[in-house]
Amino acid sequence: VQDTFLCVKPDGVERGLIGEMIVRFERKGLQLVGMKMITPSRSLIETHYAEHRGKGFFNGICEYMSGHPVVAMVWRGVDAISVCRTVIGATNPTKAAMGTIRGDFGMQTGRNLIHGSDGPESAAREIGLWFRPEEITPASVVPCINKWLYE
């Protein structure tokens, strides 16, 4: 079982798509174990996207992501990191498959609606950056439906 960090970006919030996105992860079978709406500072976003520092789009993504409300979430499940990336779709919404969040709702890479951690190290780093431990449901809280999701 893995935990992954997702974040509904400002365009997703402003366009009224928070519920539309959450329902897709719920229906898939993932467990929501942390969630809050916050308006991130520029320094939080710079730390979050530190791997992209120095790239041409870095300033743009910091302007886009900071100073506007976002919905930070932690989702749990078997292979949750890759499952969530599949639900989200490719980085560029013009290339993302229909049926994915970015494929269904996006028009441009710089407005791609939602973030998802890309591996176990980034998931752990991002969850620690955005959440305090007591804001995450303990692993001992196992949903009853799990016996119908996993053999």
- Residue numbering of the annotated binding site: 9, 57, 85, 91, 102, 112
CB of 71 to ligand GTP, least distance (A): 14
SS3 (DSSP) at 138 = coil
Q: How many CB atoms lie within 10 A of CB 67?
A: 13
Q: CB of 79 within 8 A of CB of 132?
A: no
115 counts as catalytic: yes
- CA triple 94-92-115, angle to 5 deg: 130
Token reading at 10: 């400002």
AA identity, residue 103? G
Catalytic residue among 48, 52, 68, 115: 115
The neighbouring-strand residues paired with 4 are 75
# chain residues binding ligand GTP, by CB under 6 A: 11
Q: Which of residues 86, 109, 125, 136 is near ligand GTP by CB under 6 A?
A: 109
Q: CB of 135 within 8 A of CB of 37?
A: no
Q: Which of residues 23, 41, 60, 139 is near ligand GTP by CB under 6 A?
A: 60
Among the residue ranges 72-80, 106-114, 127-135, 141-149, the one whose residues contact ligand GTP (CB under 6 A): 106-114
User: In the bound complex, which residue of the shown chain has the CB atom lying closest to Mg ion?
Assistant: 118
Interface residues with ligand GTP (CB under 6 A) are 52, 57, 60-61, 91, 109-110, 112, 115-116, 118
